[in-house]
Structure 1
Amino acid sequence: MSEAAAEAVVAGATGRAEAGRRAALWLAGRGIATAALDARILTLDLLGLTAADLALAGEVPVGEAGAAALNAALARRASGEPVARILGAWEFWGLPFRLGPDTLVPRPDTETVVEAALALHPPPGDGVRLLDLGTGSGCLLVALLSEWPGATGLGTDRSAPALRLARDNARRNGVGGRAGFVAGDWGAALGGRFDVVVSNPPYIATRTVEGLDPEVRDHDPRLALDGGVDGLDAYRTILAQAPGLLAPGGALLVEIGYDQEAALRALAPASGLRVEAVRRDLAGHPRVVAMRAADPG
């Protein structure tokens, strides 16, 4: 689908509301299941509008530059590119995050990690040290720092471009002064101990990656998806490193695939960890496993 194919959808003289309507119809005609929502998001963002602008001044023409931007975005969406990739940004935990080729698009299921961390007993207090392994866009680290104003945090990632984006996202969301970022393989070579360690590692079995929705398979970074032959490679590494990363009483929280709870329960004891809780996502699937050091003896 070329950008030229979308040229006739919206013209400079088209009103804002009409542009959104045409965009939705055009995307629906090309099989986009979320056509109305996608068209609304693209129209508001690319034209720099609020919902009130669209409702109260919907007759205002979009202009030539607005039409060109919207038409190009529609062509990209019709080709299967996700809205978040087109915009280069997405919202997570009510906060805005810039994205890049080396970062996942933050998903609602991952907010379950934040919820699980906030529900820890006892709750972390001032001075808590937070670690986000494989931070990507920094969404988990930034969201938790925004909830814990007395906390400091560190994010690790193998990708230098991802770390630059994460650092920028921390600054944009007002927590940059309390967040640090380090290139590395999970927690290898880190010298400190942390009260809360979180991670959303790759957990999809290699053989399954090619069968993912094309919007994920073709646009999310492969390294952030592929968890090895059984999908558990990253967990083995993280759990093996956990005893050297957790402060006394510290908690490790990892996002998991819907069918991986039993595997994590089986892996934890070998690293001296016990599963303290499993939190479910909005669909009712096990989504986060919370672990602490096992009781001695």
Structure 2
Amino acid sequence: MGENAGNTVAQALREAAQSLGATSDTARLDAEVLMAHALGATRSEMLLRHMNAPAPGGFAALVARRVAHEPVAYITGTQEFYGLPFRVTPDVLIPRGDSEVLVEAALAARPDARAVLDCGTGSGALLLAVLSHRPDARGVGVDCSPGALAVARANAEALGLAGRVRMVQADWNKPGWAADLGGPFNLVLANPPYVENAAPLDRTVRAFEPASALFSGPEGLDDYRVLVPQLPGLLAPAGAALVEIGHAQADAVSAIGKAAGLDARLHRDLAGRARVLEFSPAA
């Protein structure tokens, strides 16, 4: 797409959506989100008030980045999750709407939770969404990436939750990683890497999102084999652990939990796919 000099916002959006058609299944939406970002307006404000205004000069560069498959959330630096705005950078996975199933399940599982642990916190989306609905709870977010922890801390600050959360660099593959976390916990949340190393992924994901947060061995199960057996030692009596899984991994991850003395309850996403296992100590 050429520069939009002289174009109105409406004209530039039409051209951008056409250019993005080969890159994105949501070309028009992508164009609108990028235009709103370029205007410094919300998408609603843009659609109501700015369609006949001149297109901003920087819009074409944003569209060019999206044409090259860069995710919209990395271009704008923000992603909404569970009704909250989150800062995202290439140091963290972009929070997905499907992961909201985990938040819903966690809030329902232990409505009186006071201590929450998030393993592999990334942007902090899961932990901060739960804490935003549990004003009496405190949380600990763990990640092995300093870059991710910086993003999570910034999100906690921006959402007014910094006083109730601690972000800690730790690696569940290393002995003693949980010694200083202050457990046990009523809720443990985890969205570990679970993609098979050779899985075919959209270029938007494989080329831009952090591989360390995506891939987990030839079956996508390596991190479950390490983390799930450690859950009983992290949970308070009657605690629950909510773990996101790949759509075909429910049986395999449930079996790992059973071997560790955990019962599993499956939660499905809106499309009916297996999405979250809720683990609790076996009766």
User: Normalized against structure 2, the TM-score is what?
Assistant: 0.93
Residue 9 of structure 1 contacts residue 26 of structure 1 at CA under 8 Å; is this kept in 2?
no
| RMSD over equivalenced CA pairs, Å | 1.5
What amino acid is the match of 1:149?
Answer: P
Of 17-26 and 73-82, the range deviating more from structure 2: 17-26
Residue 9 of structure 1 contacts residue 23 of structure 1 at CA under 8 Å; is this kept in 2?
no
**C-alpha distance in 1, partners of 2:226/2:46?**
50
1:198 counterpart residue number = 189
Residue 253 of structure 1 contacts residue 290 of structure 1 at CA under 8 Å; is this kept in 2?
yes
Mapped pair 1:70 → 2:70? no
Mapped pair 1:183 → 2:169? yes
Q: Tell me the percent identity.
A: 47
What amino acid is the match of 2:178?
Answer: A
2:266 counterpart residue number = 278
**C-alpha distance in 1, partners of 2:255/2:20?**
46
Mapped pair 1:226 → 2:215? yes
CA positional deviation for 1:191: 4.4
Residue 188 of structure 1 contacts residue 241 of structure 1 at CA under 8 Å; is this kept in 2?
no
1:84 aligned residue (56, 73, 80): 73
Kindly name which structure, 1 or 2, has the bigger radius of gyration based on alpha carbons: 1
Residue 16 of structure 1 contacts residue 54 of structure 1 at CA under 8 Å; is this kept in 2?
no
Residue 229 of structure 2 contacts residue 256 of structure 2 at CA under 8 Å; is this kept in 1?
no
User: Normalized against structure 1, the TM-score is what?
Assistant: 0.89
1:110 aligned residue (93, 99, 107): 99
**C-alpha distance in 2, partners of 1:52/1:183?**
40
Aligned pairs for 1:1-297 within 5 A: 6=1, 8-11=2-5, 13-28=6-21, 30-50=22-42, 51-62=44-55, 66-67=56-57, 69-120=58-109, 123-125=110-112, 128-186=114-172, 188-189=178-179, 190-208=181-199, 211-275=200-264, 277-295=265-283
**C-alpha distance in 2, partners of 1:137/1:171?**
12
1:3 counterpart residue number = none
Deviations 1:143-198 (A, max 9, x none): 00111111110000000111011011011112111111100013533342100000
Residue 101 of structure 2 contacts residue 275 of structure 2 at CA under 8 Å; is this kept in 1?
yes
CA positional deviation for 1:270: 1.9
Residue 254 of structure 1 contacts residue 290 of structure 1 at CA under 8 Å; is this kept in 2?
yes
**C-alpha distance in 1, partners of 2:53/2:38?**
15
**C-alpha distance in 2, partners of 1:233/1:85?**
28
What amino acid is the match of 1:33?
Answer: D
